[in-house]
Structure 1
Amino acid sequence: MSKVLVLYYSSYGHIETMAKAVAAGAESVPGTQVDIRRVPELVPEEVARKSGYKLDQDAPLIDGPEALVDYDAILIGTPTRYGNMASQMRNFWDMTGGIWAQGKLNGKVGSAFASTATQHGGQETTLISIHTMLFHLGMVVAGVPYSCPELSNMEEITGGTPYGATTLANADGSRTPSENELTIARYQGKHVAELAAKLAG
């Protein structure tokens, strides 16, 4: 059995929805155990509530960086902040120096998914910046291959890149992940779980 972690941060629920789709894809691979966890919020609760943050999320918080070691694959989900991962996610990974120094993530599968407000809001730079971090941690990096036909959908405005699943939230957060975007997310989860099973076997 391989173990897959879907680790995410979500301010308004878009990445939370994508995380559930990624997890569903991973769970479709026989013999795969999937856990969904969140990283801690850094914004004070009063400010978060005034800003309309979605605070009622089902996934429990991750225990800490050492918990990463228990998994064969880790999929990271984050909104984009100026073309990079959100500070909440960055803060968590900045605490992984100890496990990096010991090589505890070497050979594990790593992957990423993201959201932006607009079509050209830095989705790919965010994903690639996460990939760079995963390389430093010794992980095997996976994206979404073009065998996923939804990547080539030109009939609608949609997220989705070969670097990872993405969604468009609109500037006011009013757009929720589309079925095309969720299908790509499920494909990514399945693809990563299949790779993890091969490497673990």
Structure 2
Amino acid sequence: MKTLILFYSTYGHVYHLAEAVASGAREVAGNEVYIKRVPETLPPALLDQMGATAAQKVFEHVPVAAPGELADYDAIIFGTPTRYGNVCGQMQSFLDATGGLWAQGKLIGKVGGAFVSTATQHGGQETTIRSLHTELLHHGFVLVGLPYAWQGQMGHHEVTGGTPYGASTVAGGQGERQPSENELEGARFQGRHTAEIARKLAAI
């Protein structure tokens, strides 16, 4: 079984969640886990202006995925920052290039899910994941979220991400906050849970 963690990250927050999701997925026996990123669409000068260039060096070693290779995996978990309550442009551009896969039904029956980073607690975590879910459903994915079996999303004693739709983190208005241990645990749970569902479906 093969699982892909596919992400876009501007300042590293989604990348750290992606690593945690992959860590959880690796706990499932016989599961080959790959982490890849979607291509950057912003010019280098703008990334410099945004202060993103240095942050992205942390994950520049991660290979860039091509749309066609999505058909090679049994499960794909997508990670994206939010943009006004929706998927970021880089991830959307990548998904827009999967029309050929859609036309051939290549992703029907794959197991899919999503995780996200937002600046604030109410900055679109759930709407962003739900909008990504809509695209995955058009491709025929079987969706897996982050069930309440993970109790970390039930607490209210600290600022934390985590939704029943997928793992999430709160980055802060200036990107100053990195994923907490609770948020990373939610991501690990999602990776493990998604891989377990994919394995069960593969055995049918």
Q: CA deviation at 1:55?
A: 2.5
Alignment of 1:88-167 (within 5 A): 88-167=90-169
Question: 1:173 is matched with which residue: 172, 175, 195?
Answer: 175
Alignment of 1:1-40 (within 5 A): 2-40=1-39
How far apart are residue 118 of structure 1 and its match?
Answer: 0.4
Structure 1 counterpart of 2:143, one-letter code:
V
Instruction: Report the alpha carbon displacement of residue 181 of structure 1 after superposing the two structures with TM.
Output: 0.3
In 2, distance between residues paired with 1:16 and 1:143?
Answer: 19
- Indicate the SS of the match to 2:63: coil
Amino acid at match of 1:36: I
* Misfit runs of 4+, over 4 Å: none
**CA–CA distance in 2 between the matches of 1:89 and 1:72?**
20
- How far does the alpha carbon of each residue in 1:32-79 deviate from its partner, in whole angstroms, 9 at most, with x for none? 0000000011111122122111221131101x1110000000000000
CA distance in 1, matches of 2:171, 2:194: 25
RMSD: 0.7
Q: Is the counterpart of residue 59 in structure 1 residue 41 in structure 2?
A: no
Superposed displacement of residue 193, structure 1: 0.5
Q: Quick one: which amino acid aligns to residue 134 of structure 1?
A: L
Q: Which runs of no fewer than 5 residues in structure 1 stay unpaired?
A: none
Write the distance in 2 (CA, Å) between the matches of 1:121 and 1:133: 20
C-alpha distance after superposition, 1:105-154 (max 9, x if no partner): 00000100001000100110000001111110001001001010111122
Distance 1:81 1:102 in 2: 30
Residues 69-99 of structure 1: CA deviation (Å, up to 9, x unaligned): 0000000000000000100000000011110
Aligned identity (percent) is 56
What secondary structure, in the 3-state scheme, does the structure 2 residue paired with 1:50 have?
A: helix
- What is the CA distance between 1:157 and its match in structure 2? 0.8
TM-score of the superposition, structure 1-length normalised? 0.97
Secondary structure, aligned partner of 2:56: coil
Return the alpha-carbon distance in structure 1 between the equivalents of residues 117 and 147 of structure 2: 19
In structure 2, what is the Cα distance between the partners aligned to 1:158 and 1:174?
14
The amino acid of 2:10's aligned partner reads S
| Structure 1 residue 199, shift from structure 2 partner | 1.2
Letter of the aligned partner of 2:183 in structure 1? Answer: E
- Residue 185 of structure 2: aligned partner: 183
Tell me the number of residue pairs that the alignment of Structure 1 and Structure 2 aligns: 199
* One-letter amino acid of the structure 1 residue matched with residue 42 of structure 2: V
Separation in 1 of the partners of 2:156 and 2:172?
Answer: 19
Alignment partner, residue 198 of structure 1: 200
SS of the residue corresponding to residue 111 of structure 1 reads: strand
Q: Return the TM-score normalized by structure 2.
A: 0.96
User: How far apart are 1:13 and its partner, in Å?
Assistant: 0.2
Residue 47 of structure 2 corresponds to residue 48 of structure 1: yes
